Structure 1
Amino acid sequence: MNETKTDLSYYYKSLYESEQKKVEDLESQLEESEKEIEELKFHLDRIKSSFVWKLSKPFRGALHVYERTRDRLRRYGNVRGILRKIRSKMREKKAASRIHGTKSFPNPEEAQRQQNEKFSRDIKISILVPLYNTPENFLREMIDSVIWQTYQNWELCLADGSDDAHKYVGEICREYQKDSRIKYKKITENLGISGNTNICLELATGNFIGLFDHDDILHPSVLYEAVKVICEKNADYVYTDEATFEGKNINNMIVLHFKPDYSIDTLRANNYICHFSVFDAKLLDKTGLFRSAYDGSQDHDLILRLTTAAKNVQHIPKILYYWRSHKNSVASDINAKTYAIDAAKRAVQDHLKQCGLEAKIESTRAFPTIFRLKYKLTAEPLISILIPNKDHKEDLSRCIDSILNKSTYQNFEIIVIENNSTESEIFDYYEVIKKHPQIQVVTYNGEFNYSAINNFGASFAKGEYLLFLNNDVKVITREWIEELLMYAQRPDVGAVGCKLYYSDNTIQHAGIVIGLGAHRAAGHTHYKEPKQNLGYMGRLCYAQNVTAVTGACLLVSRSIYDEVGGLDESFAVALNDVDFCLKIRKKGYLNVFTPFAELYHYESKSRGLEDDKAKAERYNEETARFRERWKQELEAGDPYYNKNFSLDYSDYSLKLE
């Protein structure tokens, strides 16, 4: 008997050492491949700067169209399906332009009502506009849009750095000075965007400040709406939604940007706030205005500083700013001002330093000024990976093999929570994996209850962090644990979730929105979109704050898990992860979705989703109870999902009623 045990021990030890050697060999191959990739990238960059590459742009464009068509065919089944989708989007865009363009302007009666409304505070808004060689029609339309404001307590501060060939700029401004609220100063030399705007500030006497570009247009009610929020919610920083238009008519919108409520991780990765902001002038005592070193991305730099200093940032989910796209504008092409990319990176880096954070910042495929932040890990704590399981040996082995063979982060333990398995092969597999020093198998006796099973597993966990993981996932990203931990390690962050794909390379999870879907409880955004989709305004390309992430892959610190009381066991099948995330949010923590931790999710074999009457009834009961528990939050709407989006679709389709 002892000889048998010794033989088995030697066998498993040899097997483990053999597998470890394979892993080390693969890691060496990977390092060599990464070096080759860097070398190829260098050569690719040289090719892209060549004349031949530029000449081939039309052909590459055709290839891009082909690839997009192929992806759409995969999603919509046939050309007819694609055409239906295109027609639907065209109708949506046309309807949206009607709703959010000039049709949204107040009629004479409403304009008079807004003009006569009395507010609880005396708010004077100084609108700062740096001028430089502004085309005459742009200049007049910009000034007129301020004069036509329904809220009257404003002043327009114009600092003109135009050259001698554009003297008409000053002449037009002096013409408008018949309105005493318009202040103008000619600058002897152009000081750039930041310097010219700082001159505007010297003219300002308002207790709130608004920043306005010289070639854009304000909605007539934007100041009224801002003052209303300032007074009703005691806000010291307010921002609005915006639209980009081209040509002479603001109704010719090419992009409608409906934004989330204040979201610091989103803002670090992407200056989503942009236009239009109104803020308490006292904030400038702490932050100062523009810094010339960040010209080109001076807005991103300032917004990061102001919102960090502000006590109450509020968002108005209405398009109240119209950003003109023309050949020299960033709205038209970021390459018209390439220095903006470097300035934006430095602005984010400076902001992070002020917050005691350190990260490497890289441009993403979505846009040069949409960033991937790679935070430095402050420690390498033990992470307990909890995997509930019943039978499905193939799924579980694939999951565990991918963790062991692909993860670059090594300080983890795996706790498999066995629940009601009946197949002999799974118990044989348990005996094998229990030999691994990082794996243990514990048994939960009782009927399936996702929350109870994971809470039970957590009682065995030794880690500082808990990583809830489904048994039917497979790791793609080697640094997946680091990508999750870099956010979870922050004291202001609660749950962190990854990006999950189905086996057909469509998206299963990219963050959860409460209220989305047929049951109006919660749903996944960008659901079933192709893997390479950039997402709405590039959202699939950067880490961002969300209300909830899926429990199929969710990292949280043990301390926060304990603080919120773990998973609620009354949610046995449905919405337990969303309920958990909402409890975390209620405690004041942020939840984060990152697209840089990627896994496959073979969801077809998930527990608790079988098609039988009892489970369907339980699902409906839990959904109803979720809606009742979080009624207030559902009525308020998901703060990271603009109320102008439809709750019937996951692809950020606009609500058009």
Structure 2
Amino acid sequence: MVDTNKNSLEHTLLEVLRDLNLKQAELNELSEQMKKLEEEVENYKSMYEDYKEAADDRWDRLKIYEENIIIKKLCSLQLKLKKKDKNKDSVEKEEVSYKRKYWELYTESEKNDFLNCQKKLENVKYKPLISLVIPVYNTDLRMLDELFYSITEQIYDKWEVCFANGSKDNIELNKKLKDYALHDKRVHYSLLEKNGGISYNTNEAFYLAAGEYIGMVDHDDLLAPNALAEVVLALNAKRDIEFLYSDQDKVDEKTTMRFGAFYKPFWSKELLYSGNYITHFSVLKKSIIEQVGLWDSSTDGAQDWDLFLKVTEKTEKVYAIPKILYHWRTAPTSTASSMDTKNYAAEAQIKCLQNHFNRMNYNAKVSFSRPKDLQIHVEWNNDLKGKISFIIWDEGGNQDLNSFIWFATESIGVELKEIIVVSTDSVRLESIKKKCKKLICESPNYAEGYNKGAEVAEGEILIFSIAQAPSVALNTYHELSVWCKHPEIGLVGPKVLTSQKVINSLGIVLNQEKPQALFGGQKDEVGRLTAFGTTGWYRNVNAMNWYCFAISREKYKEIGNFNIDLGLLSMIDYCIRVGRKYRNLINPFAVVQYNLNYSKLISEERSNEYKKILKDYRMPEVDKYYNPVLVEK
């Protein structure tokens, strides 16, 4: 039993040893595997360290790169911000500069007028929308900004601006107009596919307009702050006005000073035959512009003048505002500087005037008599042969009657119907060699002498002249006669010069205090533009001197004789009577000489009588063909 158990135990031990050996072998194998794993782990650790080092290096480089990008972006942003701030400062400085320069153009007195205008505007009921049409083409941006600023500073704010840009490739100008429109809903603009010229571009701006009235503005000029307000005040005072215009002056290219003020008469139809005296600031009813067909491209260079002629063919409801509301820029290419900058305009001027005469069925030809001075002459093709009665009032003295009569008959260019000489001196009458009617007048009163001559006259046209005022221009009497056939013209008078070629008068201004000789005492310089135009323009006047004038016999009979009881004032009385039915005209191409002192039109003793005449005829305080600023105090 013992042996059996022993064997069993040994066997068990052997089994155990064998198992242990197997386990040891497994352990050894596991140990080897562990070593391999440890080696792999070490390898992985080494690789990890390498990768980590590489990753860290890459990360560091990435961080540096990103930091550089951020820094660059920050720098760029800072530069942009600085540039933007600089531009903003520049814009703000420019705006301050515009504002400062603009308001420095006005005196304190003018600024007070603006305030008064603003107060008046508070009480008006009629407030129409006024559309300002402005064609632009490669416009100087500074000047455009200044113009736009002058619009935004208007006392009257019910306006809109309509730009038409004919320079589509001008990116800066396009951007400028877009900025205006973004900041002010009253701004509209059109980018044109082509530059069609001033009339075409103006029409395109007009198509954008919604206002009842249209204001015409050049792209580089300035409006006074009260420009639109004064228009609205005038429209409220007289609601049927269809066409308004104002006085104007000039502003230099740098906007540092105003000069060259131009004071205009109230509506003067024949003056418009000498030049576009209306120009700016002009506001017209939109409907009447549409009625005449807008601006005509065939008259570019005189397109506004052409429009004004067409409009005034349709309406006489024209009103002048005697205030400077517009500042015309004297840029190098502006007609404000010189007509030489726009030579093409001269041809357009003749064309638009000739077109007007053709439309009116007037038998007349328009031309430049003095191209250098752009003095326009209207030649009427009227048959006057045997139709003129020449009535001469002889005041006595040393004037050779025969010489006067000979020159008159020879210079007129046509056969006269008759010559009628009225004198207080029978001896002088008997000395006349030319065949004529001779009348004695007991009174030394020119009015009575003219009445006597007119009573026996048989011609269609009556020329009245004193023998002491000889013509000094070859066509004087012809120039007086041809205008008398015009159905709306009453008296036609000449330019009167002294023997020193100083102007005696270009008509008589009828102001309330005293009459005033127009251009009296000034040199006769046809090409010189004064504050009231030139001495070479046709002029509508309320009155003229008795020295020389003409009228149709039909109109003379309609008006009646001179009032002989008024002495020297008879002519003023007669002119007013004629002017109530017709327009009186001074023709600068007719010139006579007379040396009476231009400043002594009436004596102090007759001043009250003069005022009574004006009062009886209800004449306005300021002559309608003059300007209140120019009235002699």
Alignment RMSD (CA, Å): 2.6
2:295 aligns with: 290
Contact kept? 1:114, 1:224, Cα under 8 Å: no
Task: Tell me, in whole angstroms, the C-alpha distance in 2 between the residues paired with 1:172 and 1:226.
Answer: 28
Q: Secondary structure at the match of 2:407?
A: helix
Residues 623-649 of structure 1 show CA distances to partners (whole Å, capped at 9, x for unaligned) of 42221121365552111221111415x
Whether 2:632 is the aligned partner of 1:647: answer: yes
Q: Secondary structure at the match of 1:599?
A: strand
Whether 2:525 is the aligned partner of 1:523: answer: no
2:569 aligns with: 575
Q: Secondary structure at the match of 1:636?
A: coil
Contact kept? 1:408, 1:478, Cα under 8 Å: no
Of 145-154 and 391-400, more deviation after overlay is shown by: 391-400
Task: Tell me, in whole angstroms, the C-alpha distance in 2 between the residues paired with 1:582 and 1:492.
Answer: 15
Q: Secondary structure at the match of 2:534?
A: helix
Cα deviation for residue 307 of structure 1 reads 2.3
2:347 aligns with: 342
Whether 2:256 is the aligned partner of 1:241: answer: no
Residues 161-201 of structure 1 show CA distances to partners (whole Å, capped at 9, x for unaligned) of 1142x211121111111211111111121111111111111
Q: Secondary structure at the match of 2:453?
A: helix
Cα deviation for residue 108 of structure 1 reads 8.1
Of 479-488 and 386-395, more deviation after overlay is shown by: 386-395
2:90 aligns with: none
| 1:142-181 alignment runs, 5 A limit | 142-164=147-169, 166-177=170-181, 178-181=183-186
Cα deviation for residue 493 of structure 1 reads 0.3
Task: Tell me, in whole angstroms, the C-alpha distance in 2 between the residues paired with 1:109 and 1:321.
Answer: 18
Cα deviation for residue 569 of structure 1 reads 1.4
2:66 aligns with: none
Sort the Cα spacing of 1:443 and 1:479 in 2 relative to 1 into closer, same or farther, 3 A: same
Equivalent position amino acid for 1:418 in 2: S
User: What runs of 5+ residues in structure 2 fail to find an aligned partner?
Assistant: 1-102
Whether 2:445 is the aligned partner of 1:449: answer: yes
2:325 aligns with: 320
Task: Tell me, in whole angstroms, the C-alpha distance in 2 between the residues paired with 1:521 and 1:109.
Answer: 33
Cα deviation for residue 486 of structure 1 reads 2.0
Task: Tell me, in whole angstroms, the C-alpha distance in 2 between the residues paired with 1:137 and 1:122.
Answer: 31
Equivalent position amino acid for 1:176 in 2: Y
Task: Tell me, in whole angstroms, the C-alpha distance in 1 between the residues paired with 2:409 and 2:377.
Answer: 26
Sort the Cα spacing of 1:485 and 1:98 in 2 relative to 1 into closer, same or farther, 3 A: farther
Cα deviation for residue 478 of structure 1 reads 2.5
Q: Secondary structure at the match of 2:231?
A: helix
1:308 to 313, 316, 332: 313
Task: Tell me, in whole angstroms, the C-alpha distance in 2 between the residues paired with 1:310 and 1:289.
Answer: 15
Contact kept? 2:370, 2:376, Cα under 8 Å: no
Equivalent position amino acid for 2:478 in 1: E
Cα deviation for residue 376 of structure 1 reads 1.9
2:434 aligns with: 436
Contact kept? 1:114, 1:150, Cα under 8 Å: no
Task: Tell me, in whole angstroms, the C-alpha distance in 2 between the residues paired with 1:266 and 1:449.
Answer: 33
Task: Tell me, in whole angstroms, the C-alpha distance in 1 between the residues paired with 2:503 and 2:373.
Answer: 24
Residues 427-460 of structure 1 show CA distances to partners (whole Å, capped at 9, x for unaligned) of 2x53342x633x1111223x33222222122111
Sort the Cα spacing of 1:571 and 1:243 in 2 relative to 1 into closer, same or farther, 3 A: same
Task: Tell me, in whole angstroms, the C-alpha distance in 2 between the residues paired with 1:371 and 1:328.
Answer: 23
Q: Secondary structure at the match of 2:593?
A: strand
TM-score normalised according to structure 1 size? 0.75
2:508 to 479, 496, 512: 512
Task: Tell me, in whole angstroms, the C-alpha distance in 2 between the residues paired with 1:267 and 1:98.
Answer: 34
1:553 aligns with: 548
Equivalent position amino acid for 1:313 in 2: V
Q: Secondary structure at the match of 2:415?
A: coil
Residues 313-340 of structure 1 show CA distances to partners (whole Å, capped at 9, x for unaligned) of 0000100001110112111122221111
Cα deviation for residue 378 of structure 1 reads 4.8
Cα deviation for residue 304 of structure 1 reads 1.1
Of 391-400 and 222-231, more deviation after overlay is shown by: 391-400
Equivalent position amino acid for 2:378 in 1: L
Equivalent position amino acid for 1:560 in 2: K
2:380 aligns with: 375
Contact kept? 1:127, 1:211, Cα under 8 Å: yes
| 1:75-90 alignment runs, 5 A limit | none
Whether 2:609 is the aligned partner of 1:625: answer: yes
Cα deviation for residue 115 of structure 1 reads 5.5
Q: Secondary structure at the match of 1:243?
A: strand
2:467 to 471, 496, 499: 471
Contact kept? 2:524, 2:535, Cα under 8 Å: no
Contact kept? 2:130, 2:214, Cα under 8 Å: yes
| 1:27-176 alignment runs, 5 A limit | 104-105=110-111, 110=116, 113=119, 116-119=122-125, 121-164=126-169, 166-176=170-180
Residues 63-111 of structure 1 show CA distances to partners (whole Å, capped at 9, x for unaligned) of xxxxxxxxxxxxxxxxxxxxxxxxxxxxxxxxxx999668524578547
Equivalent position amino acid for 2:466 in 1: N
Sort the Cα spacing of 1:122 and 1:455 in 2 relative to 1 into closer, same or farther, 3 A: same
Equivalent position amino acid for 2:253 in 1: G
Cα deviation for residue 409 of structure 1 reads 2.7
Sort the Cα spacing of 1:278 and 1:531 in 2 relative to 1 into closer, same or farther, 3 A: closer
Q: Secondary structure at the match of 2:470?
A: strand
Q: Secondary structure at the match of 1:489?
A: coil
Cα deviation for residue 515 of structure 1 reads 2.3
Cα deviation for residue 408 of structure 1 reads 1.6
Matched residue count: 525
Sort the Cα spacing of 1:527 and 1:330 in 2 relative to 1 into closer, same or farther, 3 A: same
Of 403-412 and 485-494, more deviation after overlay is shown by: 403-412
2:537 to 538, 542, 560: 542
1:43 aligns with: none
Contact kept? 1:409, 1:481, Cα under 8 Å: no
1:277 to 272, 279, 282: 282
Contact kept? 2:373, 2:526, Cα under 8 Å: no
Cα deviation for residue 343 of structure 1 reads 0.7
User: What runs of 5+ residues in structure 1 fail to find an aligned partner?
Assistant: 1-96, 610-615, 649-657
Contact kept? 1:417, 1:457, Cα under 8 Å: yes
TM-score normalised according to structure 2 size? 0.78
Residues 351-393 of structure 1 show CA distances to partners (whole Å, capped at 9, x for unaligned) of 1111111323223548654412222215445222222225435
Cα deviation for residue 263 of structure 1 reads 0.8
Task: Tell me, in whole angstroms, the C-alpha distance in 1 between the residues paired with 2:413 and 2:106.
Answer: 48
Cα deviation for residue 350 of structure 1 reads 0.6
1:388 aligns with: 393
Residues 17-75 of structure 1 show CA distances to partners (whole Å, capped at 9, x for unaligned) of xxxxxxxxxxxxxxxxxxxxxxxxxxxxxxxxxxxxxxxxxxxxxxxxxxxxxxxxxxx
Equivalent position amino acid for 1:142 in 2: L
Of all paired residues, the percent bearing the same amino acid is 29
Task: Tell me, in whole angstroms, the C-alpha distance in 2 between the residues paired with 1:620 and 1:412.
Answer: 41
Task: Tell me, in whole angstroms, the C-alpha distance in 1 between the residues paired with 2:384 and 2:407.
Answer: 24
Task: Tell me, in whole angstroms, the C-alpha distance in 1 between the residues paired with 2:423 and 2:249.
Answer: 53
1:38 aligns with: none
Q: Secondary structure at the match of 1:595?
A: strand
